A = this chain, B = another copy of it.
């Protein structure tokens, strides 16, 4: 049996958050259903944030209400305790929190210092641990910040330690602006491994400079077995100038499957999901491998 690698599809949140077109909760559920049909079991389904600040995430409670029961990890992004309570009330089983490793990014993004952001995060983690809700903390700009440039490795290693000590189930190292190179990925992961191990670490890459897939490979080589990706490469970050889409789910899946890992995803289903996202958003051409996948499916090879 092949070793498993988890692809957590963040298309319905990170992917949709930055689109010009705001989808309805029903349309967002349609996308989630297409991902489930493609075999996905880990999906970021929305965010409990101010609908004024992020209209695309309004009605996430309705999205959550429509999710099937079963062995799935459906996560929702929350900014604070208020978001946590909303997510819990809606029945979410995994919450996502964000702390940037860059002070400037925290100030610009959430108007807090890193210490203040960590304090908010710790309060939520204490509660989620007690209440048995999974937590994943995004360590944003883990490699490079659009304002501060390259982030000091030791600073990130220390923050990972703080977050794990505060009780997070998982730390997601996020290359928010798609600036990391595979050498940088290897370097940071080796540093983290030597202090904290990598059991509770996953990675989140953007494909801004075309290095997303290479970064996934570098992280796999360092033992990482869970990755964020978005169907069709949909995405971006409204708060990070220059960020483009997440690395595409299908690109990561093609590589990992060919490397002999089991992602649990089927390409026919992924193609249908790409087509649906493309139709609904009007802004998704698919990842770098999607044309090849389409040809394989058409030739009945997948």
Q: Which residues of A contact B (CB under 8 A)?
A: 178, 181-184, 207-211, 213-214, 216-218, 221, 242, 244, 248, 251, 254-255, 258-260, 287-289, 291-292, 295
Contacts and interface: CB of A to CB of B under 8 A. Distances in A.
Contact of A217 (B214, B244, B259, B292): B214
19 contacts: A181-B255, A181-B258, A182-B214, A182-B217, A182-B255, A183-B258, A183-B259, A208-B289, A209-B288, A210-B254, A211-B255, A211-B258, A211-B289, A213-B214, A214-B214, A217-B217, A221-B221, A242-B292, A242-B295
A289 B210 contact: yes
A249 to B, nearest CB: 12
Contact of A213 (B208, B211, B289, B291): B211
Q: Residue among A178, A213, A218, A242 with the most chain B CB within 10 A?
A: A213
Nearest to A291: B244
A223 to B, nearest CB: 14
B288 A207 contact: yes
